[in-house]
Each structure stands twice: as C-alpha cells, then as structure tokens.
Structure 1
Amino acid sequence: MTDEPGLSAREMLDRLDTTLSRGTRIRAVAALLAGLAGAVFVTSLWWSEPGPLPDRTHLSFTLLTVFCLAWAGYGGWLLTRRVPLFATEQVVAAGIALAASVGTTGITVVAAARSGTGPGPALAVGGLFIAAAATLAVRARARRAALLRRMRQLTRQEGP
C-alpha cells in the first residue's frame, strides 16, 4: 500500500526529486562559504603569527583549519549530489559537528589548564556543545534508518 492513491511503490520511488530543495541548497552554500572563509581566516592568522609557535599552537591551528575545510567539503559534496540522500547529509553534518566539538573542547581544556585558570568552565561549555552535537547525530542516524526502512518496505510491496 502506498501513501498516494494510484501510485505503486516503484512509481513513488521513481518520483523522488533528484534535485536539492531550496533550503538544502542554501545550507550547502552556507556551509561551503563559511568553511572556506573560516579556513582562510584561520590560516592567515596562523601564518601572520610572529616568531616560532609552540607545537600545541600549531596543532590547534591545524585542527581548526581541518574543521573549516571539512565544512567546506561538506557544502561542496552536498551541492554536487543528484540522487536522493535519505538524510545522509544530516548524518555527515552531525558527524562533523561532533568531531569539531570534541576537538575544540579538547584544545580549549588543555589551553585553560596550561594557563592556570582551570579546565572547569571550558569543560562545561564544551560539554554542552558535545551533548548537542551527539544528540543531533543520534537523531540524524535514527531519521536515516527510518527513511531507509520505509524505502525497503515500499520496494518489497512492489515485488519483482
């Protein structure tokens, strides 16, 4: 049984729009531009620092640049998709957000501990970001699984 009268499961799957919605395109362009702008900003800041930098500072700049490039890559990847994604884009975005939250929290906690201010506030704020990103990741995976389950149900109903 299908959700729309008169359409078979195969017809419903065939009618899936292969173009991105306007909102998805806007989010993809925003991620691409923000990622590129962030990467340019962080690397220009890194290169303009006078004198030799400690290794942990190089590591911090490297991680921040990688996170920015990951968002730019995500935006570019999303803009080039021409097939139904079944919420894959949400799973990828949530994974990037979770990795960035964990990495940034780690950098911030180490910096706070080394400066003598204590890691408490950095852990508290970072923990909130990590919890939010983890919640989004779990929700994105559940939504993707539900969509794929529904697609399999529709495909089975159609039969050979």
Structure 2
Amino acid sequence: MTEEPRLSARDLIGRLEPALSARVRIRAVTALLAGAAGAVFVSALWWTEPGPLPGHTQAAFALSAVFCLAWACYGGWLLTRRVPLFATDRLVAAYLGLVASLATTGVVTAVAVQRGTGAGPALVVGGLLVALSLTLAVRAHARRAALLRRARELAGEEDR
C-alpha cells in the first residue's frame, strides 16, 4: 500500500482555486465600475464648466478625479489577483479611504476658511470620516496580521 505524500500548508494554498470568491469579485467589480464612472462624471463636469475656474475649484475637481481613478485601479488590481490575498485587499481599500478622507477634509476646510464660513462644520464632519476610515484601517491591519500569523503557525506545525 502506498502512502500519499503529505502536503504542506503552502502546497495546499497553492492548490486552492485561483479564482476570487463571489463576494470579493462583486466588491472588485463595484469598485472598478464606480471608480471609472465617477472619474468620467467628474472629468466631464470639470471640462464643461464655463470660464476659468478658481484654483481651489480646479484642485477639488482634480482630487476627486484622482480618487475615482484610484478606486477604479483598486478594482482592476483586485480582479487580476490569482493568489490568496490574506486581507491585503481590505488593507489597500482602508488606506485608500483614509487618504481620501484626509485629503477631502483638508480641501473642504481650506475652502471654508477661504470663504470665511468657518472651519468648524468641515472639521467635525471630516474628523468623523477620518475617524471611521482610520478605524477600518486598523481593523484591516489586524485582520491581515492575524491571517499571516495563522499561516506561519500552520507552516510551523508541519516542520515537527
């Protein structure tokens, strides 16, 4: 009777189905389509504005378009992954959200101060968004660390 070779954790991971789960695929397609549609919409709105726009308005349009393109790129990147991500996708999305909320808070606060309407409301709402995105980033980092720790534990158990 022949004994089947024992597979290591890395071999098992390598033999996993190379496709993303339906949930991750839906999330990726949503990010790709929403990002692309947002970039097209913001760019079209920007290009069709009459007359010369103030600098802060130009910056706001550019920032919005860049973040939409970043989400579209994230969705495309996620769709092309054929290896286990160990929650890297969540970490990338969380940091993208954190950077977007920080930058948007900064731009909206600067515009509010420039107009003389007061920075208070902009800072409160922006602060809440930054706090939420920071919480998601911390949770994503912890999830990724736990998954990587578990993978190392499984790999270490085989060596015994």
The answer for unaligned runs of 5 or more in structure 1 is 1-5
* 1:79 alignment partner in structure 2: 79
Listed one character per residue, the Cα deviations across residues 99-136 of structure 1 (whole Å, up to 9, x for unaligned) are 11011111111111122211111110010100000000
CA contact (8 A) 1:35 1:69 kept: yes
CA contact (8 A) 1:17 1:84 kept: no
Question: CA separation in 2, counterparts of 1:131 and 1:104?
Answer: 13
- Report the alpha carbon displacement of residue 156 of structure 1 after superposing the two structures with TM: 1.4
* 2:59 alignment partner in structure 1: 59
Partner amino acid, structure 2, of 1:81: R
TM-score scaled to structure 1, two decimals?
A: 0.90
- Report the alpha carbon displacement of residue 7 of structure 1 after superposing the two structures with TM: 7.7
* 2:23 alignment partner in structure 1: 23
Question: CA separation in 2, counterparts of 1:16 and 1:147?
Answer: 16
CA contact (8 A) 1:10 1:158 kept: no
SS at match of 2:83: coil
CA contact (8 A) 1:109 1:122 kept: yes
| Mean CA deviation greater in 116-125 or 14-23 | 14-23
SS at match of 1:156: helix
- Identity across matched positions, percent: 63
Residues 3-22 of structure 1 aligned to structure 2 (within 5 Å) = 9-10=9-10, 12-22=12-22
Partner amino acid, structure 2, of 1:93: A
Question: CA separation in 1, counterparts of 2:8 and 2:50?
Answer: 66
CA contact (8 A) 2:13 2:84 kept: no
Residues 99-138 of structure 1 aligned to structure 2 (within 5 Å) = 99-138=99-138
CA contact (8 A) 1:104 1:126 kept: yes
Partner amino acid, structure 2, of 1:79: L
TM-score scaled to structure 2, two decimals?
A: 0.90
The answer for unaligned runs of 5 or more in structure 2 is 1-5
* 1:37 alignment partner in structure 2: 37
Aligned residues: 155
SS at match of 1:133: helix
Question: CA separation in 1, counterparts of 2:52 and 2:14?
Answer: 59
- Report the alpha carbon displacement of residue 11 of structure 1 after superposing the two structures with TM: 5.7
Question: CA separation in 2, counterparts of 1:56 and 1:11?
Answer: 53
